[in-house]
Amino acid sequence: MLEVRNLHAGYGRVPVLHDISLTVGPGEVVLVLGGNGAGKSTLLRSIAGFIKPTRGSVLLGGRDITGQPPEINAREGLRLVLDGHRVFPELSVADNIRLGAAVRADGGDFETLAGPVLEFFPILRTKLKSAARDLSGGQQQMLALAQAFVARPAVLLCDEPSLGIAQALIPPILEFLRNWARQGVAVLIVEQQIDVALSVADRALVVERGAITLAGTAEELKQDRRVQDIYLGLTGTS
């Protein structure tokens, strides 16, 4: 369970986020929408510990982790997958996955940990020995998710998983996140592919100029014209 209470954060003296509150429960997929520069990535980075909030708090399973370094958060079950399908390019696919499991205190055997994700993305299994740099953008995104998956976090934050990948791979990648949540993980996704992302989300919220301006169930937001307007640039979000 992730809880964010009245969070404020920014860069140096420049404030970006204003009074953000949200919760993501186990099994839930919550989507963060918003135009370029609205503060979506800043929100995920502040939750994950890469940016120290100036006010407010972040709770993981009811425990206050505000300002705690990201590597400790990762060990405690809060994981951020950055945008741009970042993996270790020189390492093999298998080693990239093993690195993900390294945060686990108990180690755990590769097949048990990685089996389910390799089943969902069988292409990764055929490339376990390939260097990650030889994968396509979409395959690298699958790998970034596999790396996070084997760490078995309780809360997963995922920044624009569709960024820079082939259109055909976007639905399966979002479907993977939906499935993952079904195992009891709390999933918070930033996405600009609103239609497909709303179809896998339970709830969604819109961030404009660092504040939440709209929130509701995915069904409600699908019907809300303001959501479409944001992406057509009609509300001038940045």
Ligand X SMILES: Nc1ncnc2c1ncn2[C@@H]1O[C@H](COP(=O)(O)OP(=O)(O)OP(=O)(O)O)[C@@H](O)[C@H]1O
Residue number, 18 or 127, with CB nearest to ligand X: 18
| Pair 62, 69: CB distance under 8 Å | no
Beta bridge mates, 187: 29, 156
CB of 237 to Mg ion, least distance (A): 12
CA distances from residue 119 to 124, 142, 170, 216, 226 in whole angstroms, order as listed: 9, 12, 17, 33, 38
Beta bridge mates, 24: 2
Part of the chain binding Mg ion (CB under 5 A), chosen from 37-45, 60-68, 112-120, 123-131: 37-45
The separation between CA 130 and the C-alpha centre of its own chain, rounded to angstroms, equals: 25
| Pair 188, 2: CB distance under 8 Å | yes
Residue 42 binding target from Mg ion, ligand X, none, CB below 5 to 8 Å by type: ligand X
CB of 169 to ligand X, least distance (A): 19
CB of 7 to ligand X, least distance (A): 13
CB of 58 to ligand X, least distance (A): 16
CB of 38 to Mg ion, least distance (A): 8
Residue 37 binding target from Mg ion, ligand X, none, CB below 5 to 8 Å by type: ligand X
Residue number, 29 or 38, with CB nearest to ligand X: 38
| Pair 123, 139: CB distance under 8 Å | yes
Candidates 2, 41, 78, 181: give the one binding Mg ion (CB under 5 A).
41
Residue 39 binding target from ligand X, Mg ion, none, CB below 5 to 8 Å by type: ligand X
Let me know if 238 is exposed, middle or buried by CB neighbors in 10 A (0-12, 13-18, 19+).
Answer: exposed
The residues that touch ligand X, with contacts defined as CB under 6 A, are: 11, 14, 16, 34, 36-42
Residue number, 150 or 197, with CB nearest to Mg ion: 197
Part of the chain binding Mg ion (CB under 5 A), chosen from 38-46, 59-67, 192-200, 211-219: 38-46
Residue number, 42 or 96, with CB nearest to ligand X: 42
Residue number, 40 or 127, with CB nearest to ligand X: 40
Residue number, 32 or 65, with CB nearest to Mg ion: 32
CB of 164 to ligand X, least distance (A): 12
Interaction site with Mg ion (CB under 5 A): 40-41
